[in-house]
Structure 1
Amino acid sequence: MAAVPVDHADVIVVGLGPGGEDAAGRLAEAGLDVVGVDDRLVGGECPYYGCIPSKIMVRSAGLLAEGRRIPGHAGTAMVHPDWRPVARTVRSATADWDDKAAVDRLTGRGARFVRGTGRLTGRDVVSVTDADGEETEIRARQAIVLATGTRPAVPPIPGLARTPYWTNRDAVAAEVAPRSLVVLGGGAIGLELGQAFARFGTAVTVVEGAPRLLAREEPEAHELLLRSLTEDGLGVHTGTQAESVEYGDHGFTLRCARGDRFTAERLLVATGRRVDLARLGVGAIGLDQDAPVLPVDERLRVMPPDNGRPGIWALGDITGKGAFTHMSMYQAGIVVRGILGEGGPPAAYHAVPRVTFTDPEVGAVGLTEEQARERGVPVATGYTDLADSSRGYVHQVGNAGFVKVVADTRSGVLVGATAAGPYGGEILGALSVAVHARVPLAVLREQIWAYPTFHRAIGEALADLAA
């Protein structure tokens, strides 16, 4: 048996999504010998299958919706959807799913790149298997960073695995909009893609097992989206458990526990994401490979440096702190400072922002009312409709929305907030600052809010909080 080639590096970064790539580049620029390892596209899910292509779809669908609102407001218009320019734009933005530019960007910062599947085989060793099955062993002198992200979670529904179902990856690569689509899952991915396809003429049905859409957000967001999606022609079924899937000449048939039966040309599975720690080989360093996430401390350390052995850090989805590009980038900064010995503040997760890019958008930060109460926080809430703050404009943009704030009555600060409506993700900025900086409610109430902006609703919600 031929000996396995052995390489050495100061730092090995396994997984080159946004956070892993950034960490590898910054450490290389600091003068360390860094090897980045990934078997998928450098840059990760976001630029190729997530944030970027899906927002192209969402924005294109929004243009159609805007055109359809012209009659009665600004003249006349006839809108004819055409998926082909959307597909072309997605293909261009992803460089036809080619990561050469990203690889060049990484190596241009001084890091080395190895294409293959990285697996821990020891405290300081990563074994990399390439597409031909050839293995290389890389030994770390200073640190290993684990940033392998997540993959679509496919539920064990009888019959599903034998069908050509879609995940988000297939949906964003679609050359044509399907005639009909069943979306399994009422979270952000399923709703964004489902609404986009519906606006291009696809008959879309959303099936969600939980009692409401966006189950982790405020219930008012579910109510708002239910109205909006229904007006866009989507069929929405919550509290509906999928029981089996069949596929044949006439497409997919989804059968549900309470007797519902849905058929469509395509089936999009959007039931969340999963971590694969067994594939990463964490058992080799004494960790539970069946755990849902990797345990990390406030410095993102899985294991600190010990007796001359390298430290192991983790960042991104596998830490369980939020499957967002902005989270992985935030954590990358903490990991880089830790490896370079620069100190700085530890990770803080009390003000994590998140946006669902449906129409209307749902932006949220921190805790929902329910989450705060579950943690024993004494809660007061304030709520206002956007229409009450921007009457002269809101009727021109479709469904309105709301702002809801959640305050800790002990400390007198906001612990969470939701801005749902037109530009909800942009309105969220002010609320994120308030939650992150723990701005006293007394100070927030002194704020002057420009009229007739949508963000003025924040002041109305704070006034309702005081009522």
Structure 2
Amino acid sequence: MVAPTVSTPDAVVIGMGPAGEEVAGRLADAGWDVVGIDERLVGGECPYWGCIPSKIMVRAGNLVGEAHRVPGSAGISRVQTDWRPVVRHVRGATDDWDDKVAVDRFTTRGGRFLRGSARLTGPNEVCVAADDDSGRETVLRPRRALVLAAGTRPAAPPVPGLAGTPYWTNRELVEAERLPGSLLVLGGGAIGLELGQAVQRFGCQVTVVEAQSRLLSREEPEAAELLMRVLTTEGLEIHTGAELVSVGYDGERFTASCRRGERLVAERLLVSAGRRADLERLGASTLGVPADARALPVDERMRVLGAPGVWAVGDITGKGAFTHMAMYQADVAVRGILGRGGRAAEYHAVPRVTFTDPEVGAVGLTEAQARTVGLPVRTAVADLAAGSRGFVHGAGSDGFVKLVAAGGVLVGATAAGPTGGEVLGLLTLAVQARVPLEELRSTVWAYPTFHRAVGEALTRI
């Protein structure tokens, strides 16, 4: 048995996704001896299987959708879809799932990179098993900081029969060189709807199964109603309130059976039922974290509670599985580790966007969440097209703005429409800065723009 190599760097960062790479790189820039560890690709989910490649697919699907809107508005059009250019663009953007550029980006800043599986073996000790068959292990004992940024993995619900099938997650779909003729999507959240709509527009028949009573169950019900109407019009088959009781695979087709009687069949099955942090595999119990915890508990400076010298950033903290959240937390952590102070983390204005067509952008609390915490809620909804007549019309201009106010400021907002994610920017600022409603009402909104719907909603709240 090969004796482990022991090293005592200044800092160890487990997980080199967006947050981990940012922390490790900036500490290296500060002159620290930093070791970054990941068993997969440096850069994490976002550039290889998440944000970037999925948006290439979504953008391609949107082009197809827009071309279908030409008749009745600008003449005639004929659309013949081809998935091969999408595959080429995805492979180019991901460097064909090769992270050499990302690894070099980190090491040229002075960091050291280890590829392997990392596990906490003590309050201030990490054991890294090499990702080859050598049996080599490296023991790291950071002298100044340990940063946990191990992220999350796709979660599969405990449906009988599912585990034994070759189901897809977003990773397999993003890597697919050809689309199946039919796809069953388990989960009506952002990932399932974004990818489902995109591949439907390229000729794959998509069926969405959601156990909750509506799509996007964490967002406003108006958003669910809008997407249900748009997606079913495009040909997606959607089943909400559908609890699966079994999944089978005969070598050619998946069969999913629902408790209320539906029997759904497709060539492929995409599981998009959320993500989870594998804290047990990480060895988080050495920090006193309960075995059944879903996330690492952190304070406003990203320090893991009860674990001096340990920080956590990104999905693993349970504050939102978004790249922008990971980068925000990374900045807070770096400033804290280096003793530079600055503002602590706040989460009252976290933006999120579902990149369907139309997009659903939201920030802060929904109406239901605001009422649950006892706020004196006032709401208003305005049709998105009301402030943009003459600019767009017909299919492709559906949408709305919903504002949630309490105490004279916005505590939440939703912008659903062709540019919902962009309209969200001004709403995020308003919620973050707690801009008084009277100040917002005095704003002059350019006409004709989708932003004018914000001004229209403000007159009703």
TM superposition shift of 1:124: 1.3
Q: Within 2, Cα distance between the matches of 1:397 and 1:258?
A: 34
Whole-Å separation in 2 of the counterparts to 1:282 and 1:387: 50
Task: Look up the match of 2:387.
Answer: 389
Quote the offset at 1:123 in angstroms.
1.5
**Residue type matched to 2:415 in 1?**
A
What is the aligned partner in structure 2 of residue 58 from structure 1? Answer: 58
Match of 2:441 in 1: 445
Q: Secondary structure at the match of 1:119?
A: strand
Q: Runs in 1 of length 4+ with deviation above 4 angstroms?
A: 303-306
Counterpart residue identity of residue 376, structure 2: P
Contact 1:386–1:394 (Cα < 8 Å) also in 2: no
How far the C-alpha of 1:396 sits from its partner, in A, is 5.2
Choose from 380, 398, 401 the match for 2:399: 401
> Counterpart in 2 of 1:101?
101
User: Which residue does 1:213 correspond to in 2?
Assistant: 215
- 1:332-351 CA distance string (max 9 Å, x none): 00100111011111100000
Aligned to 1:354: 352
Match of 2:411 among 415, 418, 423: 415
Q: Distance between the aligned counterparts of 2:334 and 2:80, measured in 1?
A: 50
Give the alignment of 1:221-300 within 5 angstroms. 221-300=223-302
2-side partners of 1:122 and 1:398: how far apart? Answer: 55
- What per-residue deviation string (whole Å, max 9, x for no partner) do you get for residues 9-47 of structure 1? 100000000010011000100111110001010000000
Conserved? CA contact 1:281–1:289, under 8 Å: no
Q: Which residue of 2 aligns with 1:375?
A: 373
- The question of whether the paired residues in 2 share the 8 Å contact of 1:394 and 1:400 is answered with no
Structure 2 unpaired stretches of 5+:
none
TM-score if structure 2 supplies the norm length? 0.98
What residue in structure 2 maps to residue 32 of structure 1? Answer: 32
AA aligned to 1:113 is: F
SS at 1:244 equivalent: strand
Structure 2 CA distance for aligned equivalents of residues 283 and 114 of structure 1 = 23
Larger deviation, residues 262-271 vs 391-400: 391-400
The secondary structure found in structure 2 opposite 1:394 is coil
Cα shift readout 1:233-289 (whole Å, capped 9, x = no counterpart): 000110000110111144100001101010000000000001100011011222213
Please state how far the C-alpha of 1:304 moved relative to its aligned partner. Answer: 7.0
Structure 1 unmatched runs, 5+: none
Give per-residue Cα distances to partners, 1:51-92, cap 9 Å, x unaligned.
000000000001111111111211221100100110111011
1:129-152 deviations in Å (ceiling 9; x for gaps)? 112232110110000000000000
2:15/2:151 contact within 8 Å kept: yes
* Structure 1 residue aligned with 2:119: 119
Kept in 2: contact 1:362–1:421 (CA 8 A): yes
CA distance, structure 2, for counterparts of residue 130 and residue 305 of structure 1 = 26
Query: Are 1:397 and 1:422, in contact at CA under 8 Å, matched by a contact in 2?
Result: no
Match of 1:352, as an amino acid?
A: V
Deviates more, 1:110-119 or 1:346-355: 110-119
| Alpha-carbon spacing, 1:28–1:407, altered in 2? closer, same or farther (3 Å) | same
- Matched residues, number: 459
Matches of 2:277 and 2:178 in 1, distance apart? 31
Does structure 2 conserve the Cα–Cα contact (< 8 Å) formed by 1:228 and 1:399? no
Identity within the alignment, %: 66
Amino acid at match of 1:415: V
Amino acid at match of 2:342: G
What's the CA shift string for 1:162-201, capped at 9, x where partnerless?
A: 1110000001111111100110000000000000010001
Helix, strand or coil at the partner of 1:418: strand
Matches within 5 A, 1:427-446: 427-446=423-442
